[in-house]
């Protein structure tokens, strides 16, 4: 009986840990090359960024992984995009770089760049992440561009966070690529 | 026979059951994709943020109870520093194999109680014992030992014991509950209500885990009513509501409505027959499957069950009720009906045990006839033992393969190998359904069904395909080279810059 009680107690502790997990996604890609000195997209996959996301759409055939946000593909197919999960009411993504950069511009390749224009996200907020927390941010309220370029100056930035507002409760967010340009 | 000797025999059977389950744990191939994608992967996804989400989980047709149960153990193991998903999955399989040893108890207790009903001294609690003066064995011990042996060693059941499926969890609940019912229905005098509460909780849990197992609780309650245990039946029914309410509450918290997943599940599978999209079988399929698994042994089990039907009827009725209910459903899978086996094995064991326990003195006293009677009794015992041996050997001979022959263990091992490579950044494979999902991959990089366009994506560093597939050639043309092989499966690694899809077509 004592053994059962101990096992039950251990399991209950595990249950608390399980319930308290927030289930967000995070992956760090291995660095494949040193970043150049000139203006470049420092979120590219081979520079070894860390990608975090509130969720992703993870069907067997249609797995829209957050790493596709930084794969640098110029002609992706429909699968090679990040899509939030259907249950995700507050989708967000973060791209964290290995070192600080002076961010100048953010380019987002929305769903409309490959798929239907109606799937492009129109409301979102770009937040520059710095060592001390949040830096400058930019709120986009009515985006219509399939490939949207947003000026966002942020010195010694460590990353970028984008928070999306789905048009409808069950809508999922679809983004093919996020580019962060600067030095 | 003394109680001590029976205990030694029982201990040997338990040891045999453990050894066989260790072998199953080591060598048993995956049985069904659901054991990963329905009951492990959701928990893994919640803890790590990455997991394949099947349509059942998107549509809220599954309860979080079993993944939550697994998830709690996963969280503990991760806290202890075990982060490899395949290792955690193997530990969970070992845990289920260990829990399945409760069937050995059920076989012992159920076989003993039913054999006691069939034996010559049905009201005696114990035998007269042997000459040594040791404490005598309980009456019906022969049925108990045969039941324990069959539940410990029946090959198909041993194989199934490691799988992380809801059927497995429900089988353990249902069989133990029915044995407790036998206890409540057959024990003379006052019996504790605690046992009735436990039985009811097990029945409720079993129903929630697998609604198709509902014939067992119906028979159990009927058994108590026919035994005039009205108060105990009421207690058991009330207790069965506890796990049901817990399941309903979990659904409320996770899917937003009481019994939401349960209602969706019943509606899709049982009312709308939606599962038929996964294939349909004739109504006789389960019987064909039983005969396929036990062509010689099944008639033996059937004969034993019928001969002792006055005692075995609750087990036989439960097994038949389950099979009939499942036969009405167009979609059929062997795992659905696995509960049939322990029920029939225990029933048959009781009859076999009762016959093994026949005493020569009980059938003849005349000196001239005694030798003849003794010979006949031993002959009956030999036939019974031979029949039991046939059941086990027949089960072993026909116990291989399963509904999904495409579930190669080699594919799983190759997937685990890829996940352990330092340079992996993505995996393309030929068959997502027949892998262990993200839990076995244990890395957070993308893994997707292979297609030629994705070979050009630099994220995909590895390819896992059968050696003889066309994809091997396509991947090699795209700059991949073989780095690992396991039986028929190979792993290729990117060795050159990605090439365009148009170049691949040339």
* Contact assessment for residue A138 and residue A125, using Cβ atoms and an 8 Å cutoff: yes
**What is the model's pLDDT at position B242?**
97
Handedness of CA B5, B6, B11, B14 (dihedral sign): positive
* Strand-strand pairing, B427-429 and B462-466: parallel
Look-up of token digits 């002792």? B308
State percent of chain A over pLDDT 90.
Answer: 82
Tell me the shortest Cα–Cα distance from A17 to chain B, in angstroms. 6
Q: What distance in Å separates the CA atoms of residue B16 and residue B10, rounded to the nearest whole number?
A: 10
CB-based contacts of A5, cutoff 8 Å, min separation 6 = none
* Tokens matching residue A145: 């561009």
Q: What distance in Å separates the CA atoms of residue B154 and residue B171, rounded to the nearest whole number?
A: 15
Given a cut of 80, is residue B146 above it in pLDDT?
Answer: yes
Q: Mean pLDDT, to the nearest integer, of A120-145? A: 93
* Contact assessment for residue B195 and residue B92, using Cβ atoms and an 8 Å cutoff: no
Find, among B10, B23, B346, B337, the residue nearest to B162 by Cα: B23
Tell me the shortest Cα–Cα distance from B58 to chain A, in angstroms. 7
Dihedral through CA B53, CA B56, CA B57, CA B59, nearest 10? Answer: 120
Residue spans of the domains in chain B: they are: 3-397, 409-505
Answer with the residue of higher pLDDT: B491 or B137: B491
Indicate which of A44, A58, A62 best probes the interface with B, i.e. most B CBs within 10 Å of its own CB: A58
Instruction: Spell out which residues of chain A touch residue B445, defining contact as CB-CB under 8 Å.
Output: 27, 29, 65, 67
- Residue range B280-297, pLDDT digits in tens: 889 999 999 999 999 999
Q: Taking CA atoms, what residue in B is nearest to A70? A: B459
CATH number (2.40.110.10, 2.60.120.260, 3.40.50.720, 3.40.50.1220) of A24-182 reads 2.60.120.260
Are the beta carbons of A14 and B457 separated by less than 8 Å? no
Model confidence band, residue B133 (pLDDT cutoffs 50, 70, 90): low
Q: Which of B45, B422, B445 sits opposite A27 (nearest CB)?
A: B445
Instruction: Spell out which residues of chain B touch residue A14, defining contact as CB-CB under 8 Å.
Output: 71-76, 79
Answer with the residue of higher pLDDT: A56 or B407: A56
Q: Mean pLDDT, to the nearest integer, of B360-374? A: 64
**DSSP sequence for chain A:** -HHHHHHHHHHHHHHHHHHH----EEEEPPP-SPPPSSSEETT-GGG--EEEES---B-SS-B--GGGGGS--SS--TTSSEE--TT-SS-EEEEEEEEEEEEEEEEEEEGGGTS-GGGS---EEEEEEETTEEEEEEEES----SEEEEEEEEEEEEEEEEEE--SSTT---EEEEEEEEE-
Q: What distance in Å separates the CA atoms of residue B392 and residue B13, rounded to the nearest whole number?
A: 14
Q: How many CB atoms lie within 10 A of CB B358?
A: 18
Q: Running DSSP on this structure, what letter comes out for residue B132?
A: T
**What is the model's pLDDT at position B119?**
75
How far CA B356 is from CA of B66, B303, B305, B313, B386, in Å, comes to 41, 16, 15, 20, 12
**What is the model's pLDDT at position B359?**
67
Q: Provide the CATH number for the domain formed by B409-505 in this structure.
A: 3.40.190
Given a cut of 90, is residue B323 above it in pLDDT?
Answer: yes
The reply to whether A78 touches chain B by the CB within 8 Å rule is: no
Are the beta carbons of A58 and B425 separated by less than 8 Å? no
**What is the model's pLDDT at position B150?**
97
Tell me the shortest Cα–Cα distance from B231 to chain A, in angstroms. 28
- Residue range B219-266, pLDDT digits in tens: 999 999 999 999 999 999 999 999 999 999 999 999 999 999 999 988
Q: How many CB atoms lie within 10 A of CB B451?
A: 14
**What is the model's pLDDT at position B124?**
52
Give this complex's ipTM: 0.94
- Residue range B1-46, pLDDT digits in tens: 788 999 999 999 999 999 999 999 999 888 889 999 999 999 999 9
The reply to whether A38 touches chain B by the CB within 8 Å rule is: no
Dihedral through CA B313, CA B222, CA B270, CA B56, nearest 10? Answer: -100
Tell me the shortest Cα–Cα distance from A104 to chain B, in angstroms. 26
Q: Which of B78, B433, B445 sits opposite A60 (nearest CB)?
A: B433
Indicate which of B425, B445, B455 best probes the interface with A, i.e. most A CBs within 10 Å of its own CB: B425
**What is the model's pLDDT at position A106?**
96
Answer with the residue of higher pLDDT: A68 or B381: A68
CB-based contacts of B338, cutoff 8 Å, min separation 6 = B156, B157, B160, B167, B168, B171
Q: Taking CA atoms, what residue in A is nearest to B450? A: A61
Given a cut of 90, is residue A176 above it in pLDDT?
Answer: yes
**What is the model's pLDDT at position B132?**
59
Given a cut of 60, is residue B468 above it in pLDDT?
Answer: yes
Answer with the residue of higher pLDDT: B204 or B138: B204
The reply to whether A33 touches chain B by the CB within 8 Å rule is: no
Q: Which of B49, B76, B432 sits opposite A26 (nearest CB)?
A: B49
* Contact assessment for residue B462 and residue B491, using Cβ atoms and an 8 Å cutoff: yes
Q: What distance in Å separates the CA atoms of residue A38 and residue A102, rounded to the nearest whole number?
A: 11
**What is the model's pLDDT at position B187?**
75
Are the beta carbons of A63 and B51 separated by less than 8 Å? no
How far CA B86 is from CA of A60, B74, B446, B483, in Å, comes to 19, 11, 17, 21
Tell me the shortest Cα–Cα distance from A142 to chain B, in angstroms. 29
Angle at A128 (CA atoms; ends A140, A163), nearest 5 degrees: 45
Residue spans of the domains in chain A: they are: 24-182
Inter-chain CB pairs, A–B, below 8 Å: 111
The reply to whether B458 touches chain A by the CB within 8 Å rule is: yes
Q: Taking CA atoms, what residue in B is nearest to A10? A: B76
Given a cut of 70, is residue B188 above it in pLDDT?
Answer: no
* Contact assessment for residue A93 and residue A54, using Cβ atoms and an 8 Å cutoff: yes
- Residue range B160-183, pLDDT digits in tens: 999 999 999 999 999 999 999 999
The reply to whether B85 touches chain A by the CB within 8 Å rule is: no
**What is the model's pLDDT at position B137?**
84
The reply to whether B73 touches chain A by the CB within 8 Å rule is: yes
Find, among A87, A79, A70, A76, the residue nearest to A179 by Cα: A70
Dihedral through CA B429, CA B434, CA B440, CA B445, nearest 10? Answer: 30
**What is the model's pLDDT at position B131?**
55
Given a cut of 80, is residue A110 above it in pLDDT?
Answer: yes
The reply to whether B363 touches chain A by the CB within 8 Å rule is: no
Model confidence band, residue B502 (pLDDT cutoffs 50, 70, 90): low
- Residue range B64-98, pLDDT digits in tens: 999 999 999 999 999 999 999 999 999 999 999 99
**Listed range (A123-137, B193-207, B360-374, B410-424) with the worst mean pLDDT:** B360-374
**DSSP sequence for B185-212:** HH--S---HHHHHHHHHHHHHHHHH-GG
**What is the model's pLDDT at position B380?**
87
Q: Mean pLDDT, to the nearest integer, of B440-462? A: 94
**What is the model's pLDDT at position B125?**
52
3-state secondary structure B303-337: HHHHHCHHHHHHHHHHHHHHHHHHHCCCCCCHHHH
Q: What is the largest CA-CA distance in chain B?
A: 96
**What is the model's pLDDT at position B365?**
55
């Amino acid at each position: 009986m004592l053994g059962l009680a101990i096992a039950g107690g251990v399991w209950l502790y595990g249950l608390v840990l399980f319930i308290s997990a927030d289930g967000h996604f995070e992956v760090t890609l291995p660095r494949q090359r040193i970043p150049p000195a000139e203006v470049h997209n420092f979120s590219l996959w081979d520079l070894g960024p860390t990608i975090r996301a509130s969720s992703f759409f993870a069907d067997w055939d249609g797995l829209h992984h957050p790493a596709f946000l930084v794969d640098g593909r110029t002609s992706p197919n429909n699968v090679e995009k990040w899509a939030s999960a259907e249950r995700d009411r507050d989708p967000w993504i973060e791209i964290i770089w290995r070192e600080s950069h002076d961010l100048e511009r953010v380019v987002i390749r929305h769903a409309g760049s490959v798929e239907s224009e109606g799937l492009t996200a129109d409301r979102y907020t770009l937040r520059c992440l710095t060592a001390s927390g949040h830096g400058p941010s930019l709120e986009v309220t009515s985006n219509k561009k399939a490939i949207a370029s947003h000026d966002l100056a942020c010195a010694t930035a460590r990353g970028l966070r984008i928070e999306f507002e789905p048009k409808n409760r069950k809508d999922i967010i679809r983004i093919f690529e996020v580019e962060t340009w600067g030095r | 026979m003394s109680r001590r000797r029976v205990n030694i025999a029982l201990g040997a059977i338990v040891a045999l059951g453990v050894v066989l389950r260790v072998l199953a744990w080591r060598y048993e191939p995956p049985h069904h994709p659901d054991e990963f994608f329905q009951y492990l992967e959701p928990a893994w996804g919640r803890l790590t943020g990455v997991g394949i989400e099947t349509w059942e989980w998107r549509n809220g047709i599954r309860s979080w109870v079993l993944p939550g149960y697994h998830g709690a153990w996963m969280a503990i193991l991760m806290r202890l520093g075990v982060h490899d998903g395949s290792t955690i999955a193997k530990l969970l399989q070992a845990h289920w194999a260990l829990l399945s040893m409760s069937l050995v108890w059920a076989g012992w207790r159920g076989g003993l109680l039913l054999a006691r009903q069939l034996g010559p001294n049905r009201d005696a609690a114990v035998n007269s014992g042997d000459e040594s003066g040791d404490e005598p064995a309980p009456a019906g011990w022969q049925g108990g030992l045969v039941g324990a042996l069959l539940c410990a060693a029946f090959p198909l059941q041993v194989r199934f014991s490691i799988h992380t499926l809801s059927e497995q969890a429900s089988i353990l609940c249902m069989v133990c509950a029915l044995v407790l019912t036998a206890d409540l229905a057959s024990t003379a005098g006052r019996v504790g209500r605690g046992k009735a509460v436990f039985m009811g909780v097990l029945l409720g849990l079993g129903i929630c885990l697998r609604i198709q197992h509902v014939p067992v609780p119906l028979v159990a309650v009927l058994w108590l009513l026919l035994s005039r245990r009205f108060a105990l039946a009421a207690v058991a029914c009330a207790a069965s509501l506890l796990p049901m309410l817990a399941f309903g509450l979990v659904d409320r918290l996770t899917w937003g409505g009481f019994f939401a997943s349960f209602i969706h599940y019943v509606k899709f599978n049982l009312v709308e027959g939606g599962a038929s999209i996964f294939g349909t079988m004739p109504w006789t399929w389960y019987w064909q499957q039983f005969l396929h698994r036990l062509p010689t042994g099944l008639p033996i089990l059937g004969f034993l069950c019928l001969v002792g039907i006055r005692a075995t009827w609750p087990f036989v009725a439960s097994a038949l009720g389950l099979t009939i209910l499942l036969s009405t459903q167009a979609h059929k899978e062997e795992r659905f009906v696995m509960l049939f086996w322990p029920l029939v094995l225990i029933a048959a064991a009781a009859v076999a045990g009762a016959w093994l326990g026949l005493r020569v003195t009980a059938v003849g006293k005349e000196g001239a006839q005694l030798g003849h009677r003794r010979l006949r009794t031993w002959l009956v015992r030999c036939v019974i033992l031979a029949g039991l041996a046939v059941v086990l050997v027949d089960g072993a001979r026909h116990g291989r393969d399963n509904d999904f022959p495409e579930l190669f263990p080699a594919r799983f091992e190759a997937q685990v190998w890829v996940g352990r490579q330092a340079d992996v950044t993505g995996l393309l494979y030929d068959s997502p359904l027949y892998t262990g999902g993200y839990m076995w991959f244990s890395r957070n990089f993308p893994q997707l069904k292979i297609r030629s366009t994705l070979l050009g994506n630099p994220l995909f560093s590895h390819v896992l395909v059968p050696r003889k597939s066309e994809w091997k050639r396509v991947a090699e043309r795209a700059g991949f080279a073989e780095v690992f092989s396991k039986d028929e499966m190979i792993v290729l690694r990117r060795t050159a810059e990605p090439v365009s899809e148009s170049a691949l077509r040339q």
